[in-house]
């Protein structure tokens, strides 16, 4: 277990992911985004946060790392992950009866241990 009792394995990884997502949600809410959904699941995967930024539907991938020794968190958003997130976003929009609405895909990097840093990459990827 680490200093926060987060442990290792699947359960530990989920707790660590939740820690980063909670920080990211607080960050975007402070920027006046409206959170519509969190951990939205479709057959294509999961979107960590879906929010509104003005007229934009924003699909947010959150990546948390305790340290940067293995690179920036955003580097873990592979082309395959991007394709899955895009497909997942289409599913969400279809379920909501939305078409031809402005959308973007952001990445929020969260890193650190006791003191967290947040880096918001607006329009981090897309078609």
CATH number reported for the structural domain that contains residue 94 in this entry: 3.40.1350.10
Domain boundaries, position 117:
9-125
| Start-to-end CA span in the chain (Å) | 40
Does residue 4 lie within any of the structural domains? no
CA-nearest of 81, 84, 62 to 73 is 62
Query: Quick check: is 78 in a domain?
Result: yes
| Any domain includes 3 | no
Question: Using one digit for the tens of pLDDT, what is the confidence trace for 10-69?
Answer: 444 445 557 788 999 999 999 999 999 999 999 999 999 999 999 999 999 999 888 777
In a domain, 25, yes or no: yes
What pTM did the predictor assign?
0.84
User: What is the number of domains present in the chain?
Assistant: 1
Report the phi/psi class of residue 20: left, alpha or beta, with left for phi > 0 and alpha for psi in -120 to 50: alpha
36 within a domain of the structure (yes/no): yes
């Amino acid at each position: 277990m680490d200093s926060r009792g987060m442990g290792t394995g699947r359960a530990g990884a989920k707790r660590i992911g939740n820690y980063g997502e909670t920080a990211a949600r607080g960050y975007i809410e402070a920027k006046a985004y409206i959170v519509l959904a969190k951990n939205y699941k479709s057959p294509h995967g999961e979107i960590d946060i879906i929010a509104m930024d003005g007229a934009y539907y924003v699909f947010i991938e959150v990546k948390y790392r305790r340290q940067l020794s293995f690179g920036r968190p955003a580097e873990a958003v592979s082309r395959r992950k991007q394709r899955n997130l895009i497909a997942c976003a289409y599913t969400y929009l279809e379920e909501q009866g939305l078409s031809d609405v402005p959308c973007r895909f952001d990445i929020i990097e969260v890193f650190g241990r006791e003191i967290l840093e947040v880096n918001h990459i607006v329009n981090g990827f897309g078609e």
